[in-house]
Amino acid sequence: MAEAMIEFQSVTKTYQGGQAAVDDLSMSIDKGAITVFVGPSGCGKTTSLRMINRMVEPTSGTLTVDGRDVTSVPAPQLRRSMGYVMQSSGLMPHRTVLDNIATVPRLNGVSKAESRKRAEELLDVVGLASTLGKRYPSQLSGGQQQRVGVARALAADPPVLLMDEPFSAVDPLVRDELQKELLRLQRDLAKTIVFVTHDIDEATVLGDKVAVFATGGKLAQYAAPEEILRAPANEFVAAFVGRDRGFRHLAFSPSDGVRIHAAQTVRLHELGTGNGAGDWQLVVDDEGRPLGWSGPGAGAATVPGGSLFRKGETLRRALDAALSSPSGLGVAVDDDGRVAGILKADEVLAIIDADRRARQGRL
């Protein structure tokens, strides 16, 4: 039995006035391993992750890290003892790359010279040229920024690394590279990593164990990736993983059958406070390019959308778009980046299912 590093014991989180975002979660996360939280948008992955370092406080239940109840450690101290990497690199724009990486060691009282030296080493560790250290974040590519984010999270050498969709904003090739890099790093570092993604492929590539979350913040299955692919615990997991082998094969499947529905859009400057209808609205700029989603309820903020789908791309990209969108509706764009319509996750999943059956029929 692997040693446990993080334990959720009947942890529930209910945000003000809402339903449970995380519902009675009990799980044990192995020390020195990569555990991946995967599931569709809104199923409570980020909330679960953030309860580990008390960026979010549980409504009930107990969470321990290395045997200690997290509420017994002051939140700022707890937060600094864990690396945190998020989707947008979260770097401070007015500080150089090196200064960004050195942030937490400086907060922990390490001298300027020493934390700088460590930051320089870390640039190398994450595969960046030392010349990039003097640049500002905006002068780096998306992939480079994510590497800096990883370097920053590693700077204080924390035993626990929390990563929230760190690679989902970069293009697929860079993403593959970053995944390989993380696995290479982990062979040397053996950190306890909790990694959030909505992409089952990424989950099965990276995870020593994978936790599949279902809508409503329920843990649907928690097992080694092979087991999840081979023996999904229920219909939800089966549909989510594409039943027999993850979605890898979808990278080669055409998306011909995917229906693109007419989209109801609203321009940013027309966005009133009157969105009381309870539906998600797709917000576009004056050229019709997607900007994000306006949430249900009056006065709700615009939230960033997921990945975009271009006509002619693969089924994998279609599914990615639908699963990464906060509204559950994927956004299709034309060659000029204008909204061409929306696609629905359940329809994409139905096509995937039919595709799988057809393949099995042929075997």
In the complex, what is the shortest distance from the CB of residue 324 to ligand ATP, in angstroms, rounded to a whole number? 7
> 236 with 350: CB under 8 angstroms?
no
**How far, in Å, CA of 36 to CA of 45, rounded?**
10
In the complex, what is the shortest distance from the CB of residue 306 to Mg ion, in angstroms, rounded to a whole number? 11
Binding-site size for Mg ion (CB under 5 A) equals: 1
Q: Which does 198 bind (CB under 5 to 8 A by kind): ligand ATP, Mg ion, none?
A: ligand ATP
Residue number, 145 or 325, with CB nearest to Mg ion: 325
User: Which window, 38-46, 139-147, 151-159, 327-335, contacts Mg ion (CB under 5 A)?
Assistant: 38-46
Place of tokens 């406080």: 57
CA atoms within 13 A on the CB side of 208: 18
In the complex, what is the shortest distance from the CB of residue 145 to Mg ion, in angstroms, rounded to a whole number? 19
Contact pick of 46, 275, 325, 327 for Mg ion (by CB under 5 A): 46
> Residue 358 has which token pair?
């057809």
Q: Which does 15 bind (CB under 5 to 8 A by kind): ligand ATP, Mg ion, none?
A: ligand ATP
CA atoms within 13 A on the CB side of 139: 10
> 331 with 309: CB under 8 angstroms?
yes
136 Rama class: left (phi>0) / alpha (psi -120 to 50) / beta: beta
Q: Which does 43 bind (CB under 5 to 8 A by kind): Mg ion, ligand ATP, none?
A: ligand ATP
Element (H or E) spanning 119, and its range? helix 112-125
Residue number, 47 or 115, with CB nearest to ligand ATP: 47
Residue number, 59 or 311, with CB nearest to ligand ATP: 59
Q: Which does 58 bind (CB under 5 to 8 A by kind): ligand ATP, Mg ion, none?
A: none
345-362 and 315-324 helices, crossing angle to 10°: 150
Residue number, 46 or 96, with CB nearest to Mg ion: 46
**Residues in touch with ligand ATP (CB under 6 A):** 15, 18, 21, 39, 41-47, 198, 326
Element (H or E) spanning 75, and its range? helix 75-80
Element (H or E) spanning 46, and its range? helix 45-52
Q: Which does 326 bind (CB under 5 to 8 A by kind): Mg ion, ligand ATP, none?
A: ligand ATP
In the complex, what is the shortest distance from the CB of residue 280 to Mg ion, in angstroms, rounded to a whole number? 16
DSSP state letter for 263:
P
In the complex, what is the shortest distance from the CB of residue 33 to ligand ATP, in angstroms, rounded to a whole number? 21
Residue number, 28 or 41, with CB nearest to ligand ATP: 41
Task: Spell out the residues 6+ positions from residue 78 whose beta carbon is closer than 8 angstroms to its own.
Answer: 53, 54, 65, 70
Q: What residues line the site for Mg ion (CB under 5 A)?
A: 46
